[in-house]
Structure formats: structure tokens, C-alpha cells
Amino acid sequence: MPKAQAIIVRCLFAVCVALPATAQNSFQVRLADSALVLTKQQVVYDPSYYRIAYPNGDVPAGKGVCTDVVIRAYRMLGIDLQKAVHEDMKAAFAQYPQNWGMSKPDPNIDHRRVPNLMTFFGRHGTVVPITRDAQAYQSGDVVCWNLGGGITHIGIVSRKRSADGQRPLIVHNIGAGQVLEDCLFKFTIIGHYRYGKE
């Protein structure tokens, strides 16, 4: 990202994570806070294919889809999902969905596809049981949904709660940019993961 934007992100991140030391010890909490920082940026939903740098590549600033929320939040904590997914696909291409007629991995797009992220998190993270119990969804968890018609979606569980306090809010981009919403149970959940380091 441009230098000026990177400085803004770092400043917002510093404000967002100015929390008690006990809360800062958890990678999951820091991931949730990284995702929340992203909601301060103006992003237009854009599913276009882009040729991007590798590693640590990103689509143009101000553009993105649901997977870019997850990718950008992890990148703030030093985890490059573009590189991680690409290397895993090179090592185990047959284990990944073959939905796009690809004959080999493509580091420009593979990590930006929800089924590929689901496969990666399932192979290298913790698969958490899917439930309607809102308490099972912890800050920093990654949740995937089926929107119907073969469309999948992904977001990150935040530390913020719904107005009634019953559900964690989700940071995601379903078309209106990187936003915080009460949508955990709005769609059919098809994946629930924890990935990262303490």
C-alpha cells in the first residue's frame, strides 16, 4: 500500500489496540482488532482479477472483496496468506477445489477465493465445530458462509457485540466495503476456523 496509507493504518491500529496488556497477549484478539481497523478504510467492492506482486501482494488500495478483509487483517500481524496459500497449493494442489479449471496455482488469485482459504485453514489451522451457539465464535475466528447459488463468503469475528449483546459482530465485505455488521447467523455457516500464532 502507499506509504501515506500505511502510516494511517499503523496509527489507527495503535489506537485500536490500546488495550489492557492481558488482552494484547492473544493473537486472536489482535487479529480481531486488525480487522476492525480495516473498517476505517474506504473500499469499493471489486472482484476483478488483478496481477499483483508476490509475496505480500495486494489489489489496489480502495478495492477488495470479502477475502481481502481476511488477507489484510492477517498481513497486519505479519502473516502473508498469499504466500502461505500459494506454497501449500504448490505442495498439494489436488487437495484444493478444482472449481476454476486451473492446472496449477496462481498467486494472483488463489488466496482471494473463499473455498481455497477454507481448505488452507482446514489443513493448517483449527477447524471449529459449526453451531448456532454464539458463544462458540471467539474474537479473531474466521467464519465462512454459503450465500446460495454457489456463492461463498468469509469474515472475521470482532470483539464488538450486537445491540442486544447476544452475538459478536463480523468484519466483512459483502458489497458495501469493509464493514462491521451483526450478520453471524444471517447466512448458512459452512466453515469456522482459528489460524495463527500466539
Q: What is the DSSP string of 55-66?
A: SS--PPTTEE-H
Mean pLDDT of 107-115: 98
Residue percentage of the chain with pLDDT more than 70 = 87
198 pLDDT above the threshold of 90: no
Global pTM value: 0.88
Q: Which domain holds residue 131?
A: 3-194
pLDDT value, residue 197: 83
pLDDT value, residue 7: 41
Q: Which residues touch 135 (CB under 8 Å, ≥6 apart)?
A: none
Higher pLDDT, 10 or 61: 61
12 pLDDT above the threshold of 70: no
The average confidence (pLDDT) of the chain is: 91
Mean pLDDT of 13-34: 65
CATH code of 102's domain: 3.90.1720.10
Enumerate the β-bridge partners of residue 168: 161
CA-based torsion, 81, 84, 89, 92: positive or negative: negative
Which tens digits make up the pLDDT trace of 118-159? 999 999 999 999 999 999 999 999 999 999 999 999 999 999
C-alpha to C-alpha distance for 186 and 172, rounded to whole angstroms:
13
71 pLDDT above the threshold of 80: yes
Higher pLDDT, 13 or 121: 121
Number of domains the chain is built from: 1
pLDDT value, residue 6: 47
Listed residue (120, 106, 118, 117) closest to 52, CA to CA: 106
